[in-house]
Amino acid sequence: MGTTLLTGGTVVTMDPHIGDLERGDVLVRGDRVAAVGTDLRTHPDAAGATVIDTTGRVVAPGFVDTHRHAWQAQMRRRIPDVSDLGAYVASTLGEIAPLYTPHDMYVGTRLAALTALDAGITTMLDFSHNSRTAEHSDAAVRALVDTGIRGVHASMGPHFGDWDRQWPGDLERLCSAYRGANDGLVTIRLAALATDEIAGPALAYGTDLAAVARDLDLGVSVDAVFGIPSSEAVLRWADAGLLGPGLCLIHATGLTPRAWGALGEAGATVSLAPSSDAQIGLESAVPAVDEALAAGIRPGLSIDVEVALASDMFTQMRTLLAIQRMRAVRGVYGSDEPVPPRITSRDVLDFATRQGAHTIGLGEVTGSLAPGRQADLIVVDAGDVNTMPLNDAVGTLVLGADARNIETVMVGGTVRKERGRLVGVDVDGLRDAVTASRDRIVGALGHA
């Protein structure tokens, strides 16, 4: 990794104490940010550094995806117009998931992680809810390791079909084998559902799974948090002392004010999936950003399911910004809904970086550019057709840029994308593996 000096660009640190630098430098030493300043060329640690000229570019923290079902990636956009949650569950979790081999898990997770890196996502929580065997879990983690992403493997048993029933017992082995793997890039979490409505009580968060997480010192990510049943579950968790900063609730649409009050009081975190909530129509179909902010929770953002949605964080930021401001404006023009304050482009960038890291327990590790933080960053060309001229760096990142403008991606001080291309990735070979896996699964589906 050595030492690298990124010099001359506009630096958006997302650190509240450092702020933005119209013309600044970022010095990376080993896997960490060593310094951020207006001119670090004479910094003692800059001697002999590899210099990257970032003039005309924006240097920013890498995005943090707080929830993606990565194993599904070779089936991406298979159901682009899925009608509702039930249709997704029936087709993807009921029919396709049982057909996956460990190799398919590896291929899908690797594709999702490489796609994330290409789009500037340096940290991805893989909500891996197809852990049919220990080998399925191992394959998913190995894919995170092989891509070099900062990967969080959130393990859960499958909803339907035959499986070894090794989860959650296998979590102890996973922690022993993989926690801290790849020079600390891999972490492990427990994944669960909010209620037993979809797949029965074994996968629902409660006293037993909370005890597993506590014994292994694991954070917990809870998916499918919707409506009255989940609100009642949240209040039960609060009464049992199961709410806290280590618990992340995903979606959180349609929750009651009492449930939000309990979450805010306990310091729990929330992962929003803006395009998923709106496009698939999850509960109220409105991302719960206003409810979270009112409870004192600044949420993280996530991609969710690529079988029906976009793969990048730019889409999530823009979707959330547009929906929230639409909601606020409707309130002004006579809606019965309360009028929330309008969020800003800086808010959604904060959700996609610093708050995302906090949401999944990595708030002291990544999400901002400050001395001592891991060197997870992106360099975005602000002189391309869709980004020129650079008038406002945050506005450019949120409203103007996309994956094609990301020249450099660094994870833990290692360059994973350079000059606009993923480093060390045989894209033709990747395409062959992904297509072969997809074709096998679709073929098996036709004979099921």
Domain residues of the chain, as ranges? Answer: 3-60+368-422, 63-359
Tokens of 384: 């391309």
394: left (phi over 0), alpha (psi -120 to 50) or beta: alpha
Please answer whether residues 45 and 35 qualify as being in contact, where contact means their C-beta atoms are separated by less than 8 angstroms. yes
* DSSP-assigned letter for residue 368: S
71-77-79 Cα angle (round to 5): 105
**Domain 3-60+368-422: CATH architecture, name and number where available:** Roll (2.30)
pLDDT of residue 446: 83
Q: DSSP for 13-42? A: ---TTT-EEEEEEEEEETTEEEEEES--TT
Give the pTM: 0.97
Instruction: Specify the CATH superfamily of domain 63-359.
Output: Metal-dependent hydrolases (3.20.20.140)
pLDDT, tens digit only, all 448 positions of the chain: 699 999 999 999 999 999 999 999 999 999 999 999 999 999 999 999 999 999 999 999 999 999 999 999 999 999 999 999 999 999 999 999 999 999 999 999 999 999 999 999 999 999 999 999 999 999 999 999 999 999 999 999 999 999 999 999 999 999 999 999 999 999 999 999 999 988 789 999 999 999 999 999 999 999 999 999 999 999 999 999 999 999 999 999 999 999 999 999 999 999 999 999 999 999 989 999 999 999 999 999 999 999 999 999 999 999 999 999 998 887 667 666 677 889 999 999 999 999 999 999 999 999 999 999 999 999 999 999 999 999 999 999 999 999 999 999 999 999 999 999 999 999 999 999 999 999 999 999 986 5
Please answer whether residues 185 and 218 qualify as being in contact, where contact means their C-beta atoms are separated by less than 8 angstroms. no
* DSSP-assigned letter for residue 281: I
Please answer whether residues 161 and 192 qualify as being in contact, where contact means their C-beta atoms are separated by less than 8 angstroms. no
Tokens of 377: 């960053």
Tokens of 230: 């989940």
Q: For residues 109 and 143, what is the distance between their CA atoms, to the nearest angstrom? A: 6
Q: For residues 204 and 210, what is the distance between their CA atoms, to the nearest angstrom? A: 10
Strand order in the sheet with 63-68: 63-68, 121-128, 150-155, 186-193, 220-226, 247-253, 269-272, 300-301
Strand partners, 4: 28, 50
Task: List C-alpha distances in Å: 17 to 14, 20, 173, 348, 374.
Answer: 9, 10, 40, 19, 17
pLDDT of residue 1: 67
Q: For residues 42 and 39, what is the distance between their CA atoms, to the nearest angstrom? A: 8
* DSSP-assigned letter for residue 221: E
Q: Residue 416: which H helix or E strand, with range?
A: strand 414-418
